[in-house]
Amino acid sequence: MGPDPAVAAVRLAVRRSLADLPPGAMVLAACSGGADSLALAAALAFEAPRSQPGGRPAGGVTIDHGLQEGSAAHAAKVVRVLADLGLDPAGSVAVVVGDRGGIENAAREARYAALDEAAVRLRAAAVLLGHTRDDQAETVLLGLARGSGARSLAGMPPSFVRTYEKDGAKVRYLRPLLDLDRATTRRACEAMGLDPWDDPHNDDPAFTRVRVRHEALPALEKALGPGVAEALARTARLLRDDADALDDIAARAYAEALVQDEDAEPEARHGVELDVERLVALPRAVRTRVLRMAAIRAGSPPGTLAAVHVDEVDRLITAWRGQRHVDLPGGLQAIRRYGRLLFGARPRDASDR
């Protein structure tokens, strides 16, 4: 008799994610102790020894954000569960969460920085994340509310690479469970005798994602019928293909329009310069991507650079009436001057001098 269907589904998803990784390389599961990441960790512990002749090493890591009383004790409990599953090494990392961009964004930044460090230290080929189809649907709705374009509506990619800030090493992340719903991971935990942790923050309406999860999505299901989450996730997958193609075109257009980038001489006033004549000739869908790319390369934080900022910069090209500049997040501004679009640090006011 085979495993429970939910267990089999999670294991299959993890098995497929391991198939393209280098033989013998370490894989880590990021685990909060919740049902999604706990089912993921258990599946990795089962699949890693069977993923190739001789198996592969697999470990688990949990992040202690220090945002709740008893968080250290909870992290220690998760580590014991990971070790009992057979993951080795199994450990926790305590992080300090700041307030940049709100508590959710700050916690995410701290978490990924810690996972980057763990992956580099352990020479892991990949870090597995437990995001599900329900998480994807919530992400799409949040992107829709922000009105930030196809890339935002494309949701979370199944794989992505981050650069470890200390030495430039590349860290690969995989989301094997994006095609499975949250109910499946919870059933898998029950079938395997695992007791998942229910994070109180997941029920706190102070967090936007929680309101989407408990109010917006149920309201849509009630009004439109079942299957909304699945449809949103499918839309994200289709839009991701389109966004990837447009981003590739925009990257080439950026290189062609680039006059000066952030690697120029330190005394250069602006970090990125683009040729306006080349920008004018681009379709808007490509041009706005080039402008966003330039702003980010110059130092504007991607998480706070919104469509409204990019639209105003685009007006410096398409509706030029002598405007002085556009202020951008991160203390930057975009200025049109002598046929160039310049992105760089905002000059200090006279009172600051």
Q: Is 96 exposed, middle or buried (0-12, 13-18, 19+ CB in 10 A)?
A: exposed
Mean pLDDT of 333-342: 93
Both 215 and 319 in one domain: the answer is no
pLDDT digits 0-9 by tens, 18-49: 998 998 999 999 999 999 999 999 999 999 99
| φ, ψ (nearest 5 deg) of residue 45 | -60, -35
Rounded Cα distance between 306 and 329, Å, is 9
At 207, the amino acid letter reads: F
Please report whether residue 249 resides in a domain.
no
Both 126 and 274 in one domain: the answer is no
Provide the CATH number for the domain around residue 13: 3.40.50.620
At 314, the amino acid letter reads: D
Task: Select from 236, 269, 297 the last residue of a domain.
Answer: 236
Residue 327 has pLDDT above 60, yes or no: yes
User: pLDDT above 90 covers what percent of the chain?
Assistant: 67
Both 209 and 69 in one domain: the answer is yes
Rounded Cα distance between 129 and 34, Å, is 12
Please report whether residue 199 resides in a domain.
yes
Least confident of 198-212, 221-235, 279-293: 198-212
CA angle 291, 292, 294 (to 5 degrees): 65
Structural domain of residue 302, as residue ranges? 261-352
Please tell me the total count of domains within the chain: 2
Q: What is the CA radius of gyration of the chain?
A: 23
Task: Select from 189, 220, 236 the last residue of a domain.
Answer: 236
pTM for the structure as a whole = 0.81
**pLDDT band at residue 348 using 50, 70 and 90 as cut-offs:** low
Residue 353 has pLDDT above 50, yes or no: no
